[in-house]
Amino acid sequence: SFSIGESSLYEDFLIRVKTQYQWLARGIDNYLLEYYVFRNNAPQVIKYSKSMLDGAADNIKFLSYLANGLMQEGQTTEAVETYQKILSINPGDYNALLQLANYFHLTATTDEARNTALNYFEQAQKIKSTPHIEKAISQLRNDINEP
């Protein structure tokens, strides 16, 4: 469907199969979720992530998709809660640490928020340091120490 420039054919096909073969619904939902992630269709990512999480509440992949979709839709409180849930399941989840670090860094208006961002960046740095993380840590430390 992509090669002929009709990307919606794939989506339509999956929806028809799901309707005709109910016993395939969960598997088809997984394919639809991957399709919507690929297409950056946040509302559908949220819908299908929640559907998949109904049967696998602690699945990091589905939680990550959900958090990303929520963030794209501006539902930041729910996105942060979802990333924090990921960290409660896997405290070393690099993606969740970076997403939270970047979110708090970009929205920080208080030292408490800056400290939160710094904490997440430092945890991520222990896993894998990058120039971005090092720069952010340095900047946050300077911001916190300024009167």
Q: Which helix (H) or strand (E) holds 45?
A: helix 42-55
CA distances from 105 to 42, 70, 113, 117, 119 (A): 23, 18, 7, 5, 10
Mean pLDDT over residues 19-40, rounded?
Answer: 92
Asked if residues 89 and 118 have their Cβ atoms less than 8 Å apart, the reply is no
Contact 137, 129 (CB under 8 A): no
In which band, very low, low, confident or very high, does the pLDDT at 113 lie, cut at 50, 70 and 90? Answer: very high
Three-state secondary-structure class, residue 90: coil
- This prediction's pTM: 0.87
Q: How many CB atoms lie within 10 A of CB 22?
A: 9
For the chain, where are the alpha helices, taking DSSP H only? 8-20, 25-38, 42-55, 60-72, 76-89, 94-107, 111-127, 131-145
Percent of all residues in the chain with a pLDDT value above 70, rounded to a whole number:
95
